[in-house]
Amino acid sequence: MSILDTDRTLPANKLIFEVRRDAALRARFRTDLEGLMRDYGLSEAERTALRQADIRRLGELGVHPYFLPQVTRLFKGAGYNHNESEAAQLYADKMLKERA
């Protein structure tokens, strides 16, 4: 996965970009993820990967590499981020441990 693999037309990229920047959309992400994904037109593959916070699969589908750790923050919070934060641990679990 690299920036060259990014699919700029992928609905998940737009959803992640906008949810990160809009408090109302972040609230909806937490309470109505299914409806939000439907409204953004995500494919079934995108929806499954997002439901499972499958960061690796999202990257394979064409989500921009910058957005991948952002997804973990949407699920686990964006407070003090450090190597032991829940968001960082989720990223490591999905990107590093599943590879082994």
Percent of the chain with pLDDT over 70: 91
The helix or strand, by DSSP H or E, that contains position 47, with its residue range, turns out to be helix 44-51
What's residue 11's pLDDT? 98
Distance CA 54, CA 73 (A): 13
Count of domains forming the chain: 1
Indicate if the pLDDT at residue 81 is higher than 80.
no
Q: How would residue 80 be classed by pLDDT, with cut points 50, 70 and 90? A: low
Please give the residue range of the domain that contains residue 27.
Answer: 3-97
| CB proximity list for 70: less than 8 A, separation 6 or greater | 16, 20
- 51-63 pLDDT tens trace: 999 999 999 999 9
CA distance 83 to 33: 27
pLDDT tens digit sequence for 5-22: 788 999 999 999 999 999
